[in-house]
Chains A and B, each alone.
Chain A
Amino acid sequence: MSATTSTIVNLPDQRTATMPKRDYLNNEHGLLSWLFTGDHKRIAILYLISITFFFFLGGIFAGLIRLELLTPQPDLVASDTYNKLFSLHGIIMIFLFLVPSVPATLGNFLIPIMIGAKDLAFPKINLLSWYLFMAGGVLTLTALVTGGVDTGWTFTTPLSTHYLNTNVVTAATGIFIAGFASIFTGLNFIVTIHRMRAPGMTWFRMPLFVWANYAASILMVLGTPVLAISLVLVALERTLGLGVFDPTKGGDPLLFQHLFWFYSHPAVYIMILPGMGVISEVISTFSRKRIFGYTAVAFSSVAIALFGFFVWEHHMFIMGVSNYSALVFSLLTMLVAVPSAIKIFNWAFTLQKGSITFETPMLYAFAFIGLFTIGGMTGVFLGALGMDIHLTETYFIVAHFHYVMVGGMLMAFLGGIHFWWPKMFGRMYPESLSKLSAVTSFIGFNLTFMPQFVLGYLGMPRRYHAYPPEFQVLNVLSTAGATVLGVGFLLPVLYLGWSLKYGAIAGNNPWQATGLEWQIQSPPLTENFTEIPIVTQDAYDYEWLANKTEHEVTTVG
């Protein structure tokens, strides 16, 4: 690499390079070898395929919603159909895509390798978790094809328990089961990170990706059971007529919301924290620099996880909760915003004095920082009590969580996929095409969701099938943006699929990154390491890497 090039991509000579003779992909053959695998990398691939499917399914629903909202009249679909569309969009995207996205694919693939272990602590539970996820997914699909479900993803009682006659129980069971998949993944990560670190891999030598997933795992393990029990109670109320949330029997419907948001607010952090982990890895690699304030970033993940449990009531400020509890929860909401701000500034300052190059993952990381800043700041709007009264339940909140979830999490997921793709499959994708898709998604995203902030302040309520005509211009803009966004999301599927067979051979460490995963062959062996490494360096130690490359002859194959 010469000093003046604007890329750090370092591929082996393509004329002589070959793929490794033996790796986790070709170790065993046949469908059964995949379905009964205990290998964390293969399970990650299984997850990747399944969540991609669910992502596009949810995406189709999103497309139909935007198409309906092109005109103020309810003309494309009937009201009930529209309600099913947004309910299934929410349920599929949240429970079947966002929650498992980074942890179950990238986390599953990378955490053992990053800490120098041969596998997760419980490979069979890991596989079980995928089967549970699929069972949950299939049940949700069953609910979909047998007539859909129209509760919204929030399952608000008593609407969900007494007033709708769609497949609420089927969908709730699906989410319940998928929830256990998430519990098992979290459990596996925590045990693995506690007990399976390689010699010398101390807590503060772990990559920040591991820290972020650790924090998310705590949330998964402690939060998901509460969601599970609230859904069980909803199902029991529907089927057996129990009255825990039924106001006519003396139950309190607000209790459901308390229980539901006790999970579903931390769930937001389950979704975003692993994404933040990806960003830390990418920013460091492409600026060739240690993450600025490593410990601050690591602890801010844990702080988000802890505070995240005590802010749920900010979803209920207008629901007649006690004014004083609203005060407490608003204050805590303000506090949880601080660690996110800390992270943003630490990433920005990592760039300072770096040697920055702009490969695709880096573009996604920049998109993440920009969009997440907007998403986070608009969260402060909603956390401010008086402001929340006007903004909640409008398109403002829709735009806010899409900025965090799509702008933040999905960008991070795509960045991570582009970053570790050469490691997962040993081949590179076409760089210019991938940069194009990153830019397209960024533009399309802003065009889709920026108008929704304005719509929200104008007062357009969420989940509206028809709306007053004066909101049309902004809605048309949003739909146009969604089209661009759709293209931005479809492109990667095409060229990543192409690259599996025709991409350039990547070699062990195309980005010249420092993580342990980059020091082994791509794709890795089934047992990851032939010999468990002894770790002597901190994370992101580029001098160590330079030293190592100098003294070692790297061989491929």
Chain B
Amino acid sequence: MDNALVASHAHTHEEEHEHVALPQHRHHFETEQQQREAGTFGMWLFLLTEIMFFGGLFFAYLLYRNWYHDAFVAASNQLSIKLGAINTAVLIGSGYFMALGVWAAEVRKKGLLVLFLLITTVLGFVFLGIKYVEYHEKWEKHHIPGEHFDVSEFVNPQAYGLKETPLAPDMAQKTQVFFSLYFAMT
């Protein structure tokens, strides 16, 4: 769903990996166990900050969805569940391979490490590719907020061969808030 979360995953893993992968533990830790605990603890704490980071967005989404329920329903039907699901799998996959990479580094298997890192990178590009397809569709339909934003598809869905209930024009305008949040979040 969101690049930033992935980036931070990768980032924290790298930090940890950097500590653990060294032949001997860092000078300022008393024991290797202390070092490992500190690394894990730090990583979870950082994930907590990410929750707060996206918490603001989730809160905004919750609020607006409550206010403009119909617009959010109609607009969210525009998103492809299939592409979204694939992308989620791709993301989890890349996270998984990154974690495997950390493990490979810990047991000092260099070949495996390179392989896992490569897979992670490839999955990253796959993610961007799918994202491109999704965004391109939004672009063509004028669903990107701003001057060219166009609500005709929501006001008059039949003309576009959709089975949605038509929205009143003022409610249809609120789909712009949905797409604003959609683009901010992804």
Contacts and interface: CB of A to CB of B under 8 A. Distances in A.
The answer on direct contact between A and B (beta carbons under 8 Å) is: yes
Interface of A: 112, 117-125, 183, 187-188, 190-192, 194-196, 221-226, 228-230, 232-233, 236, 240-244, 249-252, 255, 259, 262, 527, 532
B28 A527 contact: yes
Interface of B: 15, 18, 26-30, 34, 37-38, 41-42, 45-46, 48-50, 52-57, 59-60, 63-64, 68, 71, 144-147, 173-174, 176-177, 180-181, 183-184
A250 B173 CA distance: 7
A225 B52 contact: yes
B30 A121 contact: no
Nearest to B30: A532
Given A229-B54, A241-B146, A191 B28 contact: no
Contacts of B60: 233, 244, 255, 259
Nearest to B54: A229
A223 B180 contact: no
B176 A250 contact: yes
A221 B45 CA distance: 8
A123 B19 CA distance: 11
Given A221-B49, A241-B146, A527-B27, A259 B56 contact: yes
A187 B184 contact: no
A227 to B, nearest CB: 9
Contact of B34 (A196, A232, A250): A196
Contact of B57 (A190, A229, A262, A527): A229
Nearest to A230: B56
Nearest to A260: B56
A35 B60 CA distance: 41
B45 A226 contact: no
A187 to B, nearest CB: 5
B37 A125 contact: no
Nearest to B51: A225
Given A229-B56, A233-B184, A240 B146 contact: yes
B28 A242 contact: no
Main secondary structure on chain A at its contact with chain B? helix
A252 B71 CA distance: 16
Nearest to B170: A250
Given A229-B57, A230-B56, A244-B60, A195 B41 contact: yes
16 contacts: A120-B28, A121-B42, A122-B15, A122-B42, A123-B28, A191-B45, A194-B38, A194-B41, A225-B50, A229-B53, A241-B145, A241-B147, A242-B183, A243-B176, A243-B180, A251-B177
Contacts of A249: 145, 173, 176-177, 180
A226 B55 contact: yes
A195 B38 contact: yes
Q: Which of B28, B60, B64, B147 has the most CB of A within 10 A?
A: B28
A228 B174 contact: no
A250 B175 CA distance: 9
B138 to A, nearest CB: 12
A304 B146 CA distance: 42
A187 B42 contact: yes
B177 A121 contact: no
Nearest to A112: B28
A125 B60 CA distance: 31
A96 B15 CA distance: 26
User: 3 closest pairs, A vs B, by CB?
Assistant: A241-B146, A225-B53, A119-B28
Contacts of A123: 26, 28
A192 B56 CA distance: 28
A482 to B, nearest CB: 37
A122 B42 CA distance: 9
Contact of A118 (B28, B38, B46): B28
